[in-house]
A and B are shown apart, each in its own frame.
Chain A
Amino acid sequence: MPIEIPVDKWPGTVNTVTLGATAADGGTRSKVVTIGGERSLPFMHFENETPHPPVIALEMTAARPGDWSQVLLDAWGDVVDDPARWAGACEEAGADLILLMFGLNDADGNPVTPDFAVGTVKAVLQATGLPLVVLGPGQAEVDNEILVPVADATKGERLVLGLCEDANYRTIVASAMANGHLVLGRTPMDVNLAKQLNILMTDMGLPLDRIVMDPTTGALGYGIEYGYSVMERLRLAALQGDAMTQLPMLVNPGYEAWRTKESKVGEGVPDTWGDWAARGTHWETLTAVSLIEAGADVVVLRHPDSVTRVREAIDELMTLETA
């Protein structure tokens, strides 16, 4: 029996956002990444083509991470002590872009300074041609202290700067506007708060095509369904034409998956859980692919093997038969 697939016609479109700038556009990137532009729910190719497939970011830290799973540290080896080499390794592992995360301290355990931050960002930009997301530690004072000089020192690169949150977004937005960068806004798994932050940021005059939103999510088994629902609701609103929800979404399945017990703990767990490293990358991959199905435009991962596996899933989803 022939089955007729119902086709939705949506009035709204997700904003198209380009991360990174080549020399021709005032930056130094060898490639840029363009996300967004969706006019249908994810992978409904029979409704509209997906103009830009979801992309994969690898997360790295400015100083050796103190709280990462041993599985991750083993996978990356000694590059975790050298941001430039780590960035190169991320590119080799197949990332589309890199997310550079600052903690409260530098490699020597001293509080991060503007000089350290600018030096690290510049070293990473030199080591890789990929676009870059730069995040502060998430404490308003420190974020502003390091992100403003970073924005100034990298004018024109179209970096994504964050985090912009409800309580701290003005300085980062102003600094991004002045230097041709983008921003990342994050809200805690709530559609109303996500939209509110977008209204506040655009109210400052930042164009919508320079904002990416992180609606926050959970890992597989740890609240992913709540995150999924929020993303789905935001995307439906975007397709229905609500301009303040039409932002591409970046989520952190790497961070979320690698802090679950299943990924983080290798000893004292049932034998039936199987190989630790395999389990961790399974967890990360499944979390990431689920969020891609929810509408994620950028998934941030931590393990190099997960990149290959998530990439395979994306390729498959992008070429689905739509008979």
Chain B
Amino acid sequence: MYIIGENIHILSDAVKAGLRDRDAGFFQKLAVSQVEAGAQALDLNLGPRKKDGEEVFPWMVKAVQEVVDVPLSLDSTNLRGIEAGLKEITKAQPIINSTSAEEERLEAVPLLAKKYNAKLVALTMGKSGIPVSADERVNIAIEKLIPRMLEIDYPVSDLIIDPLVLTVSGCQEYAPELIEAVRTLQVVWDPPPAISVGLSNVSNAVPNEGRPLINRVYCAMLMGVGMNMMIADPLDEKQNELVRIIEERDDSTAVGKLYLAISDSIAAMEEPSIDDVDMDDPEQAEIWKTVQILLNKVIYAESYLQQ
């Protein structure tokens, strides 16, 4: 699993404070801890930074590059800020996060990626928003995103398509469709673009104590359809353990065995079976209930585990 570490994110209060104080040491620590935990790239989400993007991005890139060698993903809607940051890249091939299929973005962002030899995250989202169905999202990739890359002679192998994970709390019908979009996107082009998802978005608006389980179960399901890149928290040890279980096919524990069974069913386009679950084991019962909400079989509610 290629994890793009998500922890340098403007929505975090600590990150906000660190930015305000231009506290390079804070970001260097956050970068090192993520890489040590296994992150193979780092996302730098600094928000729009309309006023000072052209100053903040270079500053951040320089600070983080002093301590880590991994690719940096410049995550903003401020293109000038991103370009200023790209100019300071001296180590690995950077990533621009992101373009969408909206005309203006798709016109400008790929050109920037080409100019600076950056990889490019492209969202399957057009001007009318994020479609529910897997097919429509795949169509955006085939009809809009990839053709634009070909048009400007940008290598599709440097393209990273993000089919957009939405929260199970309010956008539940999107959850199973996203799984199918990930499955299909791997076969739409030769060579195939990389596919990356923002895993923890699936539990946005879910109370904090409920989020890790939902993230883990969704991760197992997505790994079943071949997901091998995600923007995620590399410090989440239980999530790392889940990834290891699936990758190494470790069925030495009952829970591991269940996760593998779920992942394999999704891989085979079958519904996971309750026969694989020991409902007397509370941990397995919770995993099963979570599968049900992620497949949109049972309506999500904050207390869905109590049902």
| Given contacts A192-B169, A192-B170, A203 and B306 within 8 Å (CB-CB) | yes
Across the interface, B301 reaches (CB within 8 A) one of A233, A240, A244, namely A244
A23 located at the interface, meaning its Cβ lies under 8 Å from any Cβ of chain B in the complex: no
| Given contacts A237-B298, A240-B297, A242-B298, A196 and B303 within 8 Å (CB-CB) | yes
| Given contacts A192-B169, A192-B170, A244-B307, A199 and B299 within 8 Å (CB-CB) | no
In residues 239-259 of chain A, which contact B (Cβ within 8 Å)?
A: 240, 242-245
Q: B21: shortest Cβ distance to chain A, in Å? A: 39
Across the interface, A192 reaches (CB within 8 A) one of B297, B301, B306, B307, namely B301
Specify which chain B residues have a CB less than 8 angstroms from the CB of A200 in the assembled complex. Answer: 303
Q: Is B297 within 8 A of A196, CB to CB?
A: no
Q: Is B303 within 8 A of A192, CB to CB?
A: no
Q: Is A195 within 8 A of B306, CB to CB?
A: no
B218 located at the interface, meaning its Cβ lies under 8 Å from any Cβ of chain A in the complex: no
In residues 177-210 of chain A, which contact B (Cβ within 8 Å)?
A: 190-193, 195-196, 198-200, 203
Q: Is the interface of B mostly helix, strand, loop or mixed?
A: loop
In residues 250-304 of chain A, which contact B (Cβ within 8 Å)?
A: none
Specify which chain B residues have a CB less than 8 angstroms from the CB of A199 in the assembled complex. Answer: 301, 303-304, 306-307
- For the complex, what is the distance from the CA of A237 to the CA of B299, rounded to whole Å? 7
Q: Mark A217-240 against chain B: 1 for CB-CB distance below 8 A, else 0.
A: 000000000000000011001001
- For the complex, what is the distance from the CA of A233 to the CA of B173, rounded to whole Å? 11
Q: Is B299 within 8 A of A245, CB to CB?
A: yes
Specify which chain B residues have a CB less than 8 angstroms from the CB of A233 in the assembled complex. Answer: 299
Q: What total count of A-B pairs have CB within 8 Å?
A: 38
Q: Is the interface of A mostly helix, strand, loop or mixed?
A: helix
Q: A273: shortest Cβ distance to chain B, in Å? A: 34
Specify which chain B residues have a CB less than 8 angstroms from the CB of A203 in the assembled complex. Answer: 303, 306
B66 located at the interface, meaning its Cβ lies under 8 Å from any Cβ of chain A in the complex: no
B302 located at the interface, meaning its Cβ lies under 8 Å from any Cβ of chain A in the complex: yes
Q: Is A192 within 8 A of B300, CB to CB?
A: yes
Q: B75: shortest Cβ distance to chain A, in Å? A: 29
Q: Mark B271-306 against chain A: 1 for CB-CB distance below 8 A, else 0.
A: 000000000000000000000000001111111101
Q: A170: shortest Cβ distance to chain B, in Å? A: 15
Specify which chain A residues have a CB less than 8 angstroms from the CB of B298 in the assembled complex. Answer: 237, 242
Q: Is B297 within 8 A of A195, CB to CB?
A: no
- For the complex, what is the distance from the CA of A191 to the CA of B304, rounded to whole Å? 13
Q: A184: shortest Cβ distance to chain B, in Å? A: 18
Chain A residue nearest in CB terms to B292:
A242
Across the interface, A196 reaches (CB within 8 A) one of B170, B172, B301, namely B301
Across the interface, A243 reaches (CB within 8 A) one of B170, B300, B303, B307, namely B307
Q: A238: shortest Cβ distance to chain B, in Å? A: 10
Q: B70: shortest Cβ distance to chain A, in Å? A: 38
Specify which chain A residues have a CB less than 8 angstroms from the CB of B306 in the assembled complex. Answer: 199, 203
Chain B residue nearest in CB terms to A193:
B301
Q: Mark A33-44 against chain B: 1 for CB-CB distance below 8 A, else 0.
A: 000000000000
- For the complex, what is the distance from the CA of A198 to the CA of B302, rounded to whole Å? 11
Most B CB contacts (10 A, CB to CB) among A190, A191, A195, A233 go to: A195
In residues 73-128 of chain B, which contact A (Cβ within 8 Å)?
A: none
Specify which chain B residues have a CB less than 8 angstroms from the CB of A243 in the assembled complex. Answer: 307
Q: Mark A57-69 against chain B: 1 for CB-CB distance below 8 A, else 0.
A: 0000000000000
Chain B residue nearest in CB terms to A196:
B301
Chain B residue nearest in CB terms to A240:
B297
Most B CB contacts (10 A, CB to CB) among A192, A196, A200, A244 go to: A192
Given contacts A192-B169, A199-B306, 18 further A-B contacts (CB under 8 A): A191-B299, A192-B300, A192-B301, A192-B302, A193-B301, A195-B300, A195-B301, A196-B303, A199-B303, A199-B304, A199-B307, A203-B303, A203-B306, A233-B299, A234-B299, A237-B298, A242-B299, A244-B301
**21 A-B Cβ contacts within 8 A?**
A191-B299, A192-B170, A192-B299, A192-B300, A192-B301, A192-B302, A195-B301, A195-B304, A196-B301, A196-B302, A196-B303, A199-B301, A199-B304, A200-B303, A203-B306, A233-B299, A234-B299, A237-B298, A237-B299, A242-B299, A244-B301
Closest 10 CB pairs of A and B: A196-B301, A195-B301, A199-B303, A237-B299, A195-B299, A196-B302, A192-B300, A242-B298, A191-B299, A192-B301
A residues bordering B, Cβ < 8 Å? Answer: 190-193, 195-196, 198-200, 203, 233-234, 237, 240, 242-245
B residues bordering A, Cβ < 8 Å? Answer: 169-170, 172, 297-304, 306-307
